[in-house]
Amino acid sequence: MITLRLAVTDLTADRMRSLVAIAAIVPIVVAHLVLVAVAGTLAAAPAGAGRTLVLLSTNPLDPSTGRLDDGILSDAVEAGGGAVVSATPLIFKPVKIGEAIFQLRAAPMAAWGPDLGLTLLEGRLPEPVADEIAITEGVASATGWRAGDVVEIFGTRFTITALVRAPGTKFASMWMSLDRADRLFEAAGTFQMATLALDPPAEPTTVRDAVAAAAAGRYSVYFENEITDLQAAGLQAASDLSILGTIIGIAVLAFGSFNLTAIALTERAADLGVARVLGVSRRSLTAFAAIRSMVLGLGGYLIGAALAVLYISRQGTTTLRSFVLSPRLDASDLAVAAVVTAGAGLAGAWLATWRAGYRPPRALVEGR
């Protein structure tokens, strides 16, 4: 209790110095928490369904030269032997708007809800043959577009009629009917991709093998989660980098706390020496430094955490290139940061007082 009182007295005696020490910790805590939040959202990228097959055209990049058609799709469904409950053709094309790259996706309107899981958030769904599109939250967030806006895509002016949520993807995307896309890209009834949803009792690998055997070089077959994994490879690398950044953040936090304590104790070497001369044990000095460091660290943590939470909540959903990121902090993230801050402060205090404690009291008193 005495050590706590002395630590608090010491901190309040020079408020400006204490505030500067807290201010030094705040940006480290903010950076740490923002990195953790970003790393968390990157790591939470959807894996896709392991019971959905994806047929890919041998030329999947250009919708105008898509190699899949209704006949090929019928063959694939037939090869599935009744295990395929729905087949959805898709056209897609990357769209660059400013610095962001989005995906334009087109599918039959009837498949948007039941097969693709799109949810209408605002407005109304586009008319199949009109120059109308829907956009996801990621596109809205990145571009500022809203339902009712008219935008130009591939030389054609489209009206945005709906804001939709597409739960199966982390890609920001805009959607139109397959008929409209067919005319836009002059695809003549071809498409680049199709998804085949399988009946739950069916054994997926067997079905995939059967569908692949019927391909005869016309398409490739994957499980949807394999495609998503491939697409998310870059995302995973970013996630790994974020985790590395988080680790570096923790190290910086620990090192910063250690340095703050060490500098404070170096400046107070004579006081430490006097305390030793008075008979104050090294354990008590360590407790004093630890409490002092904890108070500063937790002060910095509380302010830093509040700023990070405020920043992340105001930021909401953001789009990084074509990836939709929704950074979130949960209680465990905040608890870990608190423990790291306090632990690093304690470690710094312990190491610094251990170092000071092994100098002779005479040298400390004389400031050497």
Which residues would be at the binding site for another protein (CB under 8 A)? Answer: 1-2, 5-6, 9-10, 13-14, 270-271, 273-282, 284, 357, 360-362, 365
In whole angstroms, how close is the CB of 335 to another protein at the nearest point?
32
In whole angstroms, how close is the CB of 286 to another protein at the nearest point?
13
In whole angstroms, how close is the CB of 364 to another protein at the nearest point?
9
User: Dihedral through CA 221, CA 223, CA 227, CA 233, nearest 10?
Assistant: -130
By beta-carbon proximity to another protein, the closer residue of 210 and 280 is 280
3-state helix, strand, coil in the chain (%, to 5): 55, 20, 25
133: β partners: 160
By beta-carbon proximity to another protein, the closer residue of 270 and 310 is 270
In whole angstroms, how close is the CB of 274 to another protein at the nearest point?
5
Long-range contacts of 77-82 (CB under 8 A, 24+ apart): 77/196, 78/214, 79/210, 79/211, 79/213, 79/214, 80/53, 80/196, 80/198, 80/202, 80/207, 80/210, 80/211, 81/207, 81/210, 82/199
By beta-carbon proximity to another protein, the closer residue of 148 and 367 is 367
In whole angstroms, how close is the CB of 350 to another protein at the nearest point?
17
By beta-carbon proximity to another protein, the closer residue of 345 and 357 is 357
By beta-carbon proximity to another protein, the closer residue of 216 and 278 is 278
Tally Cβ neighbours within 10 Å of residue 332: 10
- The answer to whether 78 and 68 are in contact (CB under 8 A) is no
Q: At what angle do helices 233-267 and 331-357 cross, to 10 degrees?
A: 40
Alpha carbon 26 to chain centroid, angstroms: 22
The span from the CA of 74 to the CA of 54, in Å, is 14
By beta-carbon proximity to another protein, the closer residue of 243 and 365 is 365
By beta-carbon proximity to another protein, the closer residue of 87 and 287 is 287
By beta-carbon proximity to another protein, the closer residue of 280 and 298 is 280
- The answer to whether 295 and 22 are in contact (CB under 8 A) is no
Scored b (16 or more CB within 10 A) or e, 249-272 reads bbeebbebbbebbbebbeebbeeb
CA distances to 119, 135, 235, 291, 295 from 103, rounded to whole Å, are 17, 10, 16, 54, 50
In whole angstroms, how close is the CB of 2 to another protein at the nearest point?
5
In whole angstroms, how close is the CB of 100 to another protein at the nearest point?
55
In whole angstroms, how close is the CB of 275 to another protein at the nearest point?
8
